């Protein structure tokens, strides 16, 4: 007991060195390192670039944070990105010429994301399938259907005005960066300031206690997957509009691992009950800075995965040590 108390007071006394700000220091240190390697790093354009590159995985990671805090996992986010992206492009093409084709297609994408998330949630709760297995299954299904629809190739969008989202800027800031930050703020409020958010933590920290405390555990779980599906839809819009096309084989490939990595670096626990939007956003940015740095250092792209892996392991070790 006394040991625990000491640990607690230590944590409080750390102040700006506490867990909450830890990642900010890491980001600062990485930035200084990058700047000393290449002065180009600190150029506004490069920094905005990093935010832009963070956006599509970051949005997914934010949604996944809800799932993980509630004690689940969603491996299907990467292939669902390609699937929803493909659906959006197909819808735009089908409605080509109509002035509302793009908004309608995006809404369709959101609908598909929500429904697919809902189905994953049902498999996990009512079907009582382990989240890892259930979403491993849906991951395979989504990718396969996407490949089938595109016959292994690409979905090309015929309406070039669609790229205004992914490539557009407002006051020199890329729109995807706005979307990322805006979505981060909205989800931050949901997670930390609503009943739903509180229940997500309760369900992940102790499902039995939550059940006894009259919380509808299954409904909360399902809703985290719906939120994950909606996040994927946002990411699908960003990714598909950036290139004005979706590759059935490579779009979204490995997104699930990058998103999980970002959340874990940000302090989200794989066993549930712990995590924050703030941490996940910073975790995403850490990963982006590192890949940005490696590019500038001319490190082989093949070795970048090694560095990413080491960072993930180090992050978890540091969290274990405190």
Partner 1 sequence: MNEVVIEGKGICRDFSGVRVLFDVDIAGRRGEIHGIVGENGAGKSTLMNILGGVLPPTEGKIFFQGREVSLNPKVAKELGIALIPQELNLVESLTVYENIFLGRETCKGLFLHRKAMIEHTQEALRLLGLESLDPATLVEHLSTAQKQLVEIARVVLGDIAVLIMDEPTATLTEHEVQTLFGIMRSLKERGVCIFYVSHRLKEVREICDRVTVLRDGRVVASYPTQCVTEEDIARFMVGRSLDTVFPPRDTRKDEVVLEVRHLTVENAVHDVSFTLYRGEVLGFAGLVGSGRSEMAEGIIGLRKKKHGEILLEGKRLDIRSPQDAKYHGIVYLPEERKSSGIIASMPVRENITLMVLERFAHPFLDRKREVDIAAHRVRELHIRCKNLDEPVEFLSGGNQQKVVFARLMEVQPKVYILDEPTRGIDVGTKHYIYHLIRDLARAGLSFIVISSDLPEVIGLCDRIAVMREGRIVAFLDGGSTSEEEVILYITGLRKGAVYA
**Closer residue to partner 1 in complex, CB, 7/297:** 7
123 binds partner 1 (CB under 8 A): no
Among 19, 211, 243, 318, the residue binding partner 1 under the rule CB under 8 A is: 211
Q: How many Cα atoms within 13 Å fall on the side-chain side of residue 258?
A: 24
Told to check if 20 binds partner 1 by CB under 8 A, we report no
Residues in contact with 112: Cβ distance below 8 Å, sequence separation at least 6, in sequence order? 83, 84, 87, 229, 233
Distance between CA atoms of 106 and 157, rounded to whole angstroms?
13
Token output for 226 = 């719906």
Q: Do the Cβ atoms of 71 and 272 come closer than 8 Å?
A: yes
Kindly state whether residue 205 participates in binding partner 1, applying the rule CB under 8 A. yes
The minimum distance between CB 217 and partner 1, in angstroms, equals: 10
# residues contacting partner 1 (CB under 8 A): 25
Q: Of these, 44, 170, 214, 321, which contacts partner 1 (CB under 8 A)?
A: 214
Residue closer to partner 1 by CB (options 176, 204) is 204
Question: Which x/- pattern over 256-275 shows residues binding partner 1 (rule: CB under 8 A)?
Answer: -----------------xx-
From the CB of residue 100, how many other CB atoms can be counted at a distance below 10 Å?
9
| 189 near partner 1, rule: CB under 8 A | yes
* 215 part of the interface to partner 1, by CB under 8 A: yes
Contact status: 13 vs partner 1 (CB under 8 A): no
Binding of partner 1 at residue 86 (CB under 8 A)? no
Query: If DSSP states are collapsed to H, E and C, what string results for 106-163?
Result: HHHHHHHHHHHHHHHHHHHHCCCCCHHHHHHHHHHHHHHHHHHHCCCCEEECCCHHHH
Integer-rounded Cα radius of gyration of the chain: 20
Q: Check binding of 210 to partner 1 (CB under 8 A).
A: yes
From the list 134-142, 178-186, 214-222, 224-232, the region that binds partner 1 by CB under 8 A is 214-222
Interatomic CA distance for residues 88 and 101, integer angstroms: 10
| Residue 202 in contact with partner 1, rule: CB under 8 A | yes
Tokens 């405190």 locate to 322
Phi-psi region of 299 (alpha: psi -120 to 50; beta: other; left: phi over 0): beta
- For binding to partner 1 (CB under 8 A), which residues are involved? 1, 4-5, 8, 189, 193-195, 198-199, 201-202, 205-206, 208-216, 273-274
């Amino acid at each position: 007991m006394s040991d625990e108390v000491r640990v607690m007071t230590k944590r409080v006394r750390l102040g700006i060195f506490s867990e909450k700000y830890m990642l900010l220091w890491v980001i600062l240190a990485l930035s200084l390192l990058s700047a000393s390697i290449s002065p180009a790093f600190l150029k506004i354009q490069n920094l905005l670039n990093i935010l832009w590159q963070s956006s599509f995985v970051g949005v997914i990671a934010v949604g996944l944070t809800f799932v993980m805090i509630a004690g689940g996992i969603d491996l299907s986010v990467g292939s669902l990105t390609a699937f929803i992206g493909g659906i959006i492009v197909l819808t735009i093409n089908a409605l080509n010429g109509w002035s509302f084709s793009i908004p309608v297609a995006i809404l369709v994408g959101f609908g598909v994301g929500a429904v697919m998330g809902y189905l994953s949630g049902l498999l996990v709760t009512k079907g009582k399938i382990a989240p890892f297995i259930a979403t491993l299954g849906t991951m395979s299904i989504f990718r396969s259907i996407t490949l089938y629809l595109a016959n292994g190739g690409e979905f090309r969008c015929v309406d070039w005005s669609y790229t205004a989202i992914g490539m557009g800027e407002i006051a020199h800031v890329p729109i995807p960066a706005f979307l990322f930050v805006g979505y981060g703020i909205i989800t931050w409020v949901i997670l930390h300031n609503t009943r739903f958010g509180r229940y997500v933590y309760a369900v992940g920290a102790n499902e039995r206690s939550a059940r006894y405390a009259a919380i509808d555990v299954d409904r909360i779980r399902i809703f985290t997957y719906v939120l994950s599906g909606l996040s994927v839809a946002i990411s699908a819009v960003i990714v598909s509009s950036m290139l004005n096309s979706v590759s059935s084989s490579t779009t979204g490939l490995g997104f699930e691992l990058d998103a999980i990595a970002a959340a874990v670096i940000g302090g989200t626990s794989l066993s549930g009950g712990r995590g924050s939007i703030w941490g996940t956003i910073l975790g995403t940015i850490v990963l982006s800075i590192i890949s940005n740095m490696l590019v500038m250092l001319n490190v082989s792209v093949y070795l970048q995965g090694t560095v990413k892996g080491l960072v993930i392991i180090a992050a978890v070790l540091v969290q274990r040590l405190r």
